[in-house]
Amino acid sequence: MYQIISRKALNRTVTMLEIEAPLVAKKAKAGQFIILRVDEDGERVPFTVYDTDKERGTVSIIFQVLGATTKKLDAKREGEYLCDFAGPLGIATETTGKQRVCVVGGGVGCAIALPIARAFKENGTDVTSIIGFRTRELIILEQEFRAVSDRMHLMTDDGSFGEHGNVCMPLVQMLGAGEQFDEIIAIGPMMMMKFVVEAARPYGTPVTVSMNPIMIDGTGMCGGCRVTLNRNGERITKFACVDGPDFNGYEIDFDEAISRNRMYVDFERRAYENTCNLLRAREER
């Protein structure tokens, strides 16, 4: 059992939990993830490691309440326990050997982008960060990004805070002005990552994307998290859990990945509604 040490609401739909898991905390690196179960009857769900405290033996995760499991997870309070918490899984992001990088985060994907930006900064890299949200009320981790960035652009779709527009706008402006990056790292919704790749394509800047497909076991056995790459005229299947989650953005078949991620939308909606009803009934007893 893994105890929840602290809980913090970052906005109305996003929560951060600090969980006691000393073995995971000891080894986890930026870009890796864990798989947890809320209870014995729960599904296995992956979450990226947001932060670790090796001395306290804790791991922090940030999640958005979207489905049944995240709703159950959000109902947990400090001092309560999770059934399983396995990791670290996946290949850590390579954050050495780069002079200048641009880290692009969208929405809750910023929880993945921040530890990567921090790791680059700790290794002496010049970090430009671009983070984007739909509106002011959904902004998370602003000050944390400023602390690890040499430059930062904060974008909102509706212009309610920061700069008005999407994350591709400052990226295209910088690249068009002749600025060069050793790498662009894009993390967020699939469609956002697809557009970042297309924005960078005319300039040939390397783009790494962090893929978040449907995942079940996290060990490469089930094949649920398969990703199709177009490499040198061949279509190659890789698995995000063991070969990723980072991939060359120019190779990803985003249309297929987006379609696969939408396969269970109706099922997830019904499961979410059932969970909400169950939690409400428990509160009324």
CATH 3.40.50.80 fits 100-261, yes or no: yes
88 SS3 class = strand
Q: What is the pLDDT of residues 254-278, one digit of tens each?
A: 999 888 777 666 656 665 465 555 5
Position 213 scores a pLDDT of 81
d(Cα 114, Cα 117) in Å, to the nearest integer?
Answer: 5
Residue 105 and residue 187 in contact, taking contact as beta carbons nearer than 8 Å: yes
Residue 41 and residue 3 in contact, taking contact as beta carbons nearer than 8 Å: no
Position 272 scores a pLDDT of 46
Q: Which two tokens stand for residue 232?
A: 């040198």
Ranges of residues in the chain with a pLDDT under 70 are 263-285
Work out the angle between the directed axes of helices 254-261 and 190-200 (0-180°, nearest 10).
Answer: 170
Position 246 scores a pLDDT of 95
Position 136 scores a pLDDT of 95
Position 135 scores a pLDDT of 95
Position 266 scores a pLDDT of 65
Cβ-based neighbour number of residue 17 at 10 Å: 23
Position 81 scores a pLDDT of 96
User: In terms of CATH, what superfamily is 2-89?
Assistant: Translation factors (2.40.30.10)
Q: What is the pLDDT of residues 123-143, one digit of tens each?
A: 999 999 999 999 999 999 999
User: For the chain, which residues make up each domain, given as ranges?
Assistant: 2-89, 100-261
Q: Which two tokens stand for residue 264?
A: 């269970």
d(Cα 222, Cα 73) in Å, to the nearest integer?
Answer: 24
170 preceded by a cis bond (ω within 30 of 0): no
Cβ-based neighbour number of residue 233 at 10 Å: 5
